[in-house]
Chain A
Amino acid sequence: MKSLVSITDFNKDEILKVLDLAAEFENNPNQNMLENKVVASIFFEPSTRTRLSFETAVNRLGGKVIGFSDSSNTSVSKGETLKDTISMIANYADLIIMRHHIEGAARYASEISKVPVINAGDGANQHPSQTLLDMYSIKKTQGKLENLTITMIGDLKYGRTVHSLLMAMSHFNTAFKFIAPTELQMPVEYKNYLDKIGLKYSEHSELTDNISDADIIYMTRVQRERFSDLLEYEKVKNIYVLTNEMLENTKQNVKVLHPLPRVGEIDVNVDDNPKAYYFTQSLNGVYTRMAIITYVLGLK
């Protein structure tokens, strides 16, 4: 039994194995591998893409889904502890997929639960299935993971997706470029980590001149909910807007990724540009999540 709480729970070989499985599921998306299995999908806070793509993945695999998408009509609202909730659900289901606003909740749940736990996001901490689907999208569009240049843009301070992607891609000799306003730069611990393992990175505050060498442009939303001072948010919220014009002088193979939801950081006209990949990226989430589910259950 293996849980997936943090992207660092998977080593390089396990990441590659999951990505290979995802490709298998893309070729053959309806397989009855979860027949007679019950999967608990418990979302203590709202989600559209993540919950629906996990539940689609379970359904395509022939499993049954139980759960909730809002904890207000559960015993949690009566003051039940997370420990009790998880212990009970682990008695009902073969696998728990959970999202919780409390950071570290998924790790704690994985220690209590007798069935595997997949973390579908714990506050600002981890969202490993997003990282794996990002990597699947990168591999699919670039044909490889090694020796790519990834340009990360926007909120690099609070954005959990960029932190996890950085950690996971560091296995593959990636060169990183960070474009962020001063207030939202990549935290020093991640830069120290890259220094320690000898990977190259550079930091910039201008978008226009810094995307020409990118293989992947990873856009992020400046998240209003992470700011305690709304004036600070207003100052930076529209700082980077990617347009078709900016993409003209970029590499032929470049793809624009975004974990979604998008607000204003990618001009809607970019959606029809062949370099835009974010909607296909979210479809890849289903195949990647099928791969993760079957892998943690030891079915593949």
Chain B
Amino acid sequence: MQKELKVSAIKDGTAIDHIPSDALFKVIQILGLEKSEHQITFGMNLESKRMGNKAIIKIADRYFKDDEINRITLVAPHAKLNIIKNYEVIEKKVVKVPDFIEGIAKCMNPKCVSNIENIKSKFKVIAKDKVTLQCHYCERITNQENIIIKN
């Protein structure tokens, strides 16, 4: 029996799979997809054996550089990428947590200079399995559950 695709196939482009459902819109935001002119389809609360439920995004004719896609690890640490050409998956990739993150997250410390002056936030990633960030400026440590993505 042929399996039905919940999110329709794309001819060329990138499929981002294994996104936690509650992180879907954060991933869209981090990758700036809301301003994209590419054809984008996505689904959330899809069944997943491993994750319970998951979200998936398919972006036609769009490919990502590693450092661009690795930014989503803050909210989707186990995301997988399928690179698609002519309806075939030609490459599979997993995202890797970078060592340093700039401009995506907001420091949780209201007294931090990055929340007061007009500057880009910067963090050192001090743990990668359960992502933990240390603010480059105020040195405050932020655990995964407290990470705030900038608007």
Contacts and interface: CB of A to CB of B under 8 A. Distances in A.
Nearest to A6: B139
Contact of A82 (B109, B117, B138): B117
A123 interface: yes
B131 to A, nearest CB: 14
Interface in A1-16: 6
B116 interface: yes
Interface residues of A, number: 17
Interface residues of B, number: 16
A269 B112 CA distance: 40
A27 interface: no
Given A82-B117, A83-B117, A108-B117, A103 B141 contact: no
A126 B139 contact: yes
Interface string A78-112: 00011100000000000000000111110110000
A189 B141 contact: yes
A125 interface: yes
Interface SS of chain B: loop
A104 B117 CA distance: 11
Contacts, number: 46
A104 B114 contact: yes
A107 B117 contact: no
Given A125-B138, A125-B139, A189-B141, A107 B118 contact: no
Contacts of A108: 113-114, 117, 119, 137
Contact of A102 (B111, B136, B139): B111
B117 A103 contact: no
B135 interface: yes
A122 B114 CA distance: 13
Interface in A57-90: 81-83
Contacts of B114: 104, 108
Interface of B: 109, 111-114, 116-119, 135-141
Given A81-B118, A105-B113, 7 more contacts: A6-B139, A82-B113, A102-B111, A103-B111, A104-B113, A104-B137, A125-B138
Interface of A: 6, 81-83, 101-105, 107-108, 122-126, 189
23 contacts: A6-B139, A81-B117, A82-B113, A83-B117, A102-B111, A102-B112, A102-B116, A103-B109, A103-B113, A103-B139, A103-B140, A104-B135, A104-B136, A104-B137, A104-B139, A105-B113, A105-B137, A107-B113, A108-B113, A108-B137, A123-B111, A123-B138, A124-B111
